[in-house]
Amino acid sequence: MVRSYLRHGPTQAFGLVCSASSNSVYDGKLAYVPALEDVLVWDMKKGQMVAMWHEAGHKAEVTCIMRSPQEKMFAVGYADGSVRLWDASSGTVTTTFNGHKKAVTTLAFDSQGARLASGSQDTELIVWDAVAEAGLYRLRGHRDQITGIRFIEPQDLPSTSDGRAVPLLLTTAKDTFIKVWDLSTQHCLQTVVAHRSEVWALELNSDKTILFTGSGEGEMKAWKLDYGAVSSGFEATETGEIRKFILPYSTVPLASQHRVFRILSHPSEPYLAVQSHDRTIEIFRVRTDIEVKKKQARRRKRAQEKGKDTDQPTEIDEVADEGAKLVDRYTPHAIIRASGKIRSFDVGSEHATQKGLVHFFVALASNALEVYGVPSPSKSKGDVSEPSRVFSLDLPGHRTDVRTLCLSSDDQLLVSASNGSLKVWNMRTNACIRTMECGYAICSTFLPDDRNVAVGTKSGEILIFNVASSTLVETIKAHSSTVWSMHVRVDGRALVTGSADKEVKFWDITPGNFRDSRGVDSSLLAHTRTLKMSDDVLAVRYSPDGKMLAVALLDSTVKIFYQDTMKYFLSLYGHKLPVLAMDISDDSRLIVTCSADKNVKIWGLDFGDCHKSIFAHEESVMQVHFEKKSHYFWTAGKDKMLKYWDGDKFENIQRLEGHHSEIWAMAVSNHGNFVVTGSHDKSIRVWEKLDEPLFLEEERERELEAIYDENLATSLNRPDAPGDSADTRETGAVHKQTADTLMAGERLMEALDLADAERAAIRDYEEEKARLTVADSLGLQPPPRNPVLAALGVSPEAYVLQIIEKIQSTALHDALLVLPFEKVISLMVYLDIWSQEGQNITLTSRILFFLLKTHHHQIVSNRRLRTTLIPLRLHLRASLRRNQENIRYNLSALQYIKRKSEADKTSFYYEEGLAEEEVKAKITEGRKRKRVQVQA
């Protein structure tokens, strides 16, 4: 009989405030931050998580977040090269774009939010149509990771620019280049070598006339933008030089010499913020023209007082003629000093101000968020106010790696500890209910009655915390070096600790006889005896029957002792590197050990024989635990994997992926319902046992299918794949094969086969019926319908259309590329039928134009398609003409309604006795939404 198991699946991930994989977005109230593969929405004032954007089955890490001009729409880039558009109101994905081969590094929307540009580590730039949900084109030219993108549209151009308006795109990359792209011709207009090292930051000032760039060597440059050069077609000047769009202007001096990671201009306040690659953000204030002139006048006055000749034109006069000097325009205002290393920052919306303070949002690399208030410039010279921290959010997560986990006996409480803090979590709500300061925690365990937690530290101390009162009850200097492991005996009366000082110490637990200064009952550890070992002790474990004690040493061996007499019993040797963790089954028959040599060994505790040695992980195996009352066990390793094993059959039951860094800690439920893991990525994940059965053969087949699909998609996306010859050109089409597009193509081929067979059977029946006489044809039975079509009650043509409509718009072109040419010919017939019947003409036209463009040479040389294309052209033109007439009619109706509404408003204001200019002002004011302050 085939053995079945119960499947485990991820249910919760908590302990993360924000991850350091991406930038963050702040709107003045809500912060949209990355949390590995999810996006979290935090209310910074309340310190509460409002929403979590999670897509089931998607495991790639978030690498970029960008807010659309349409406020409720966000674009999120991922490490697998995909871009997803999220609706913030519902927290769901509206569109998925697949086109990049590597992680998305930067995103940018145009002013209307209709187009989206994405840059990636694969050095390519893709422009997407967010409305039509399709990739427009791919731009190539950079030689390294793209770091910045900005749209410049005709309505954004300064009023001084003349001639034709050209939509432009500015990009920067780590190849030290700034590139200007003409989106109408899809070609690069200018390439500028901006810095001597990588260009990391890109920003435009408010009137789109000055470009700021930041480099990896701590230099920030300003560039002038000459829009006349674009409108004149880059004509030659009198000296014979070609006019350039980007011209060097000046260098802005910075207080820090670290890498300029981000430059941001405030949308409403006169501030320019610069983030260097450390803990500071330097803020520049943008002076007005009047302030600049006053500063220049003061400088001129000082020069006169020094006795300089004022009749001669000075450098200041020359600069004043051509415009304010950049240093005079941008003056240092304040420096924000965060409590940790800054990953990203945002200036918020135009309303992110409070009582004269302008808010600056900061996301730290240490899993924390902060909001700083920058005061407005003071008129008095002596009054200097520093930025103050307004909001801080750091309690729901650790600042450093989660190194140890332990569960209470009823599985209701979880304790996690790291370097500096210990946190208590409610397992039902996943809420952090206690936070206590501690040293560098290495191991931990609940003491009997679940009132207290013992924590072993790197300094050799044992810290005892009371959970109810959130206090440090006792500090015991137990060892002279790191406490690597501790374990409570099954009867709850003794605790054993193992340390790097080559000692195993035994402690008696005497509950209830110790009362601290606050009168809280606690547990006192009394040292009873010490066992000296020949090497550092890495792990200690009591057997569940209380008879044996296992001690793992740095010399890669495990010693077994009788726990009452401490007599030597067995030695387990076979690992090539030290044993990092071990566990003993509930029946005390098996002991499982995991090592830095990537192996897991299962031993018999009666004779010490090795039952099986398993190559378990690709990296060091950090933790191993038996499931209660069974021989199933769990392992966690540095390869980010959690694995479930059968200790009797020596087979891998399940592989669980989810963490994005090495797993340090693991705790198994005392009732066997779930497993908790803690990782270097600072997240704590819960894996619960489901009711779904699992069969090993099916699990292996599913894994092989996933590997096959991944390899197939990778082979189709390789640069030398057929149809990718456009890679040598500056522009190209946007396509990328994924497992979803391959499945969509297979479903479409199956639908075409089914519909073709049904239509062929009907055609044969009609031909047979036509050959027979009327009397004989009455007795001819029609062919049986396909069960699928009969169940759905649709015709073959309608069934194929339903299948195509279910394919995501972004994956449609890639799914059509999978079709062989024979299926393309078959699909052309259905396109003719749909165009004749007027069914979904937009989709029909899109499919037809893509097929004609892709298979042009085959279609031209194929005579069979002539009989299909001629009627298809006539039917499609007629349907498109009908659609055009409908659109014209609707537009005329909308314009009539608009004119009638404006006429009603005008007549209403004229009745109030207002003048014509006042009426126009009132109508214009009615179109704008204003924020009104309401006082209670």
**pLDDT value at position 159?**
52
| Confidence category of residue 712, pLDDT binned at 50, 70, 90 | confident
818-823 long-range contacts (CB < 8 A, ≥24 apart) are: 818/737, 818/741, 818/742, 818/744, 818/745, 818/746, 818/748, 818/749, 819/745, 819/748, 819/749, 821/855, 821/858, 823/748, 823/749, 823/752
For residues 374-393, average pLDDT? 75
Angle ∠(478,502,589) on CA atoms, nearest 5: 100
Could you tell me which residue, 778 or 719, shows the higher pLDDT?
A: 778
**Alpha carbon distances (Å) from 270 to 155, 331, 347, 357, 766:** 22, 11, 12, 13, 78
692 residue type, one letter = E
Choice among 65-79, 451-465, 766-780 with the minimum mean pLDDT: 766-780
Q: Is 430 exposed, middle or buried (0-12, 13-18, 19+ CB in 10 A)?
A: middle
Q: What is the pLDDT of residues 444-464, one digit of tens each?
A: 999 988 889 999 999 999 999
Average pLDDT over residues 328-341: 88
Q: Is residue 617 within 8 Å of residue 643, measured between CB atoms?
A: yes
Give the pLDDT band of residue 919 (cuts 50, 70, 90). Answer: low
- Chain-centroid distance of CA 470 in Å reads 35
Give 1's pLDDT tier (boundaries 50, 70, 90).
low
Amino acid sitting at position 234? F
pLDDT for res 668: 95
Question: Encoding tokens for residue 281?
Answer: 């953000």
pLDDT at 710: 79
Mean pLDDT of 848-874: 86
The mean pLDDT value of the chain amounts to 86
Q: Which of 77-91, 869-883, 905-919, 921-935 has the lowest mean pLDDT?
A: 921-935
Asked whether the predicted pLDDT for residue 702 surpasses 90, the reply is: no
Please say whether the beta carbons of 656 and 644 come within 8 A.
Answer: yes
Average confidence (pLDDT) over 841-860:
88
pLDDT at 741: 85
> Could you give the strand order of the β-sheet that contains 610-615, starting from the edge strand earlier in sequence?
579-584, 590-595, 599-604, 610-615
Strands 271-276 and 280-286 come out as antiparallel
Confidence of residue 926 (pLDDT cuts 50, 70, 90): low
Instruction: Provide the whole-model pTM.
Output: 0.86
Grouping H, G, I as helix, E, B as strand and the rest as coil, residue 173 is: strand
Q: Which amino acid is at 783?
A: P
d(CA 288, CA 324): 10
pLDDT top residue among 778 and 488? 488
Looking at residues 248-257, what average pLDDT do you find? 86
What mean pLDDT comes out for the span 327-337? 87
How large is the average pLDDT for residues 755-764?
90
Q: Is the pLDDT of residue 524 over 80?
A: no
Tens digits of per-residue pLDDT, 573-597? 999 999 999 999 999 999 999 999 9
Between residues 871 and 774, the one the model is more confident about: 871
Residues found in the chain:
936
Three-state secondary structure of 331-372: EEEEEEECCCCEEEEECCCCCCEECCEEEEEEEECCCEEEEE
Range scoring the smallest mean pLDDT among 216-225, 722-731, 765-774, 780-789: 722-731
What confidence score (pLDDT) does residue 518 get?
53
What one-character DSSP code corresponds to residue 236?
B
Q: Where are the beta strands (DSSP E) in 140-291?
A: 146-152, 168-173, 177-182, 187-193, 199-204, 210-215, 220-225, 246-252, 260-265, 271-276, 280-286
| Exposed e or buried b per residue across 636-651, where buried means at least 16 C-beta atoms within 10 angstroms of its C-beta | bbbbbbbbbbbbeeeb
CA gap 643, 656 in Å, rounded: 6
The amino acid present at 185, given as its one-letter code, is T
pLDDT per residue as tens digits for the range 127-160 = 999 988 888 999 999 999 999 999 998 766 555 4
Distance separating alpha carbons of residues 142 and 430, to the nearest angstrom: 45
| Residue 324 or residue 469, greater confidence | 469
Largest interatomic CA distance in the chain? 123
Helix and strand numbers (H, E) in the chain are 15, 57
Among 78-82, 540-544, 690-694, 857-861, the minimum mean pLDDT is found in: 857-861
- Name all contacts of 206-212 with Cβ < 8 Å and 24+ positions apart: 206/265, 207/158, 208/152, 208/156, 208/157, 208/158, 209/158, 210/249, 210/326, 211/170, 211/178, 211/246, 212/252, 212/263, 212/272
pLDDT tens per residue across span 195-238: 999 999 999 988 888 999 999 988 999 999 888 887 777 777 77
- pLDDT score for 935: 47
Structure tokens given for 265: 């201009």
Q: What is the pLDDT of residue 353?
A: 58
How many CA atoms, within 13 angstroms, populate the side-chain half-sphere of residue 224? 14
Using a pLDDT cut of 70, give the percent of the chain over it: 89
Name the pLDDT band for 711 (thresholds 50, 70, 90).
confident
Each residue's pLDDT tens digit, 306-328:
765 544 544 444 444 343 477 78
Instruction: Please report the DSSP string for 771-788 in residue order.
Output: HS-HHHHHTPPPPPPPHH
Residue identified by tokens 């558009």 is 85
Tokens 């002139």, residue located = 293
Residue 370, pLDDT score: 94
The domain covering 19-155+165-295+326-393 belongs, at the CATH homologous superfamily level, to: YVTN repeat-like/Quinoprotein amine dehydrogenase (2.130.10.10)
Closest residue by Cα to residue 432 from 367, 490, 483: 367
**Cα–Cα distance measured from residue 780 to residue 758, given in angstroms and rounded to the nearest whole number:** 17
- Answer yes or no: are the C-beta atoms of 52 and 40 closer than 8 Å: yes
Give CA angle at 310 (305, 315), nearest 5°.
Answer: 105
